[in-house]
Amino acid sequence: MISIGTSGFSYDDWRGAFYPDKMPQGEFLSYYSKYFDTCELNFSYYRMPDRNIFERMLEKSGRKVSFSVKAFQDITHKPQCPPEIIMQFKDSLSPLVDEGKLAALLFQFPYSFKDVPAGIKYITVLKEEFDPLPMVVEFRNRVWVSENTFSFLKEKNIGYVCVDEPQLKGLMPPVGVSTSDVAYVRFHGRNNEKWWDHKEAFERYDYSYTDNELAGWVPKIKALDQKSKTTLVYMNNHYRGNAVNNASRLKEIMELDK
């Protein structure tokens, strides 16, 4: 089963590009749920979520949308994450878990996360803490692209996050690999010029994919879906609605709405 959505939904600059011009932000998710059945939530990386946030999202989406939730930054970006932080984050997810609407937990590690033996040990700890919740990991450093990594993830039933991003030195190649029941793909855009050299974070994701670029991923996505129970695809090129336009177009190309 293939589900396509966007990384986030609450962007003011989507008014006019996707949402009606004067739509209140509180109505965004309800509107989003008319077009997409999954959404990746990134706010949870920047601030610790609580149960109430996810309960409200379930209500506003009419319980029609599944959510992938990015792990809080202390879990992925600090050498030692206090156990109470992990417990607090896990507890916040209970409404999604109880409703069967937690699509995946996304653990996005920084470029500096490249000590493979230590990293494998820590990922194993996280798997033990969050099991049996569906877990996927996104690496930012090419050192992780190896058969050893893929074998480890398969053994632990942890999903490898496939990415499309600028092909700059050290960044991840656009490989399609399935290592768990959940296959996962993130489109970050191909803005080579602004990836490292930007004043505002959103500039990095200012990119619109062409039909040919999207079509290039179709065989990979179909192959992933052959090996997994669920295949999740998210557009993270969110600037001015590029993500919704590209997500909608990919659904059309793959004929998912028929």
Tens-digit pLDDT profile for residues 196-208? 888 877 788 889 9
Residue keyed to tokens 């090996």: 227
Nearest to 164 by CA among 144, 191, 137: 191
For residue 23, pLDDT over 70 is answered with yes
Nearest to 234 by CA among 243, 245, 226, 225: 243
Share the mean pLDDT of the chain.
94
Q: Is 191 left (phi over 0), alpha (psi -120 to 50) or beta?
A: beta
What pLDDT sits at residue 201?
77
For residue 97, pLDDT over 80 is answered with yes
What pLDDT sits at residue 168?
85
Q: Look at strands 230-235 and 66-70 and give their pairing.
A: unpaired
pLDDT band at 130 (very low <50, low <70, confident <90, very high): very high
What is the spatial distance between Cα 5 and Cα 7, in angstroms, rounded to a whole number?
7
Instruction: State in words which class domain 2-253 has.
Output: alpha beta
- Most trustworthy range by pLDDT among 74-78, 182-186, 252-256: 182-186
Nearest to 224 by CA among 159, 156, 127: 159
Amino acid at 175: V
Q: How many residues does this entry show for the chain?
A: 258
What pLDDT sits at residue 169?
84
Torsions phi, psi of 162, nearest 5? -80, 140
Report the percent of the chain where pLDDT is more than 70.
Answer: 100
What pLDDT sits at residue 79?
78
State whether residue 201 is helix, strand or coil. Answer: helix
Q: What Rg, from alpha-carbon coordinates, does the chain have?
A: 17
Residue keyed to tokens 């050498």: 79
Question: Where are the chain's structural domains?
Answer: 2-253
Q: Does residue 101 or residue 78 have the better pLDDT?
A: 101
| Six token digits for residue 256 | 């998912």
**Which helix or strand (DSSP H or E) is residue 123 part of?**
helix 116-130
Query: Looking at the whole model, is its pTM more than 0.85?
Result: yes
What mean pLDDT is predicted for residues 133-147?
A: 95
What is the spatial distance between Cα 67 and Cα 69, in angstroms, rounded to a whole number?
6
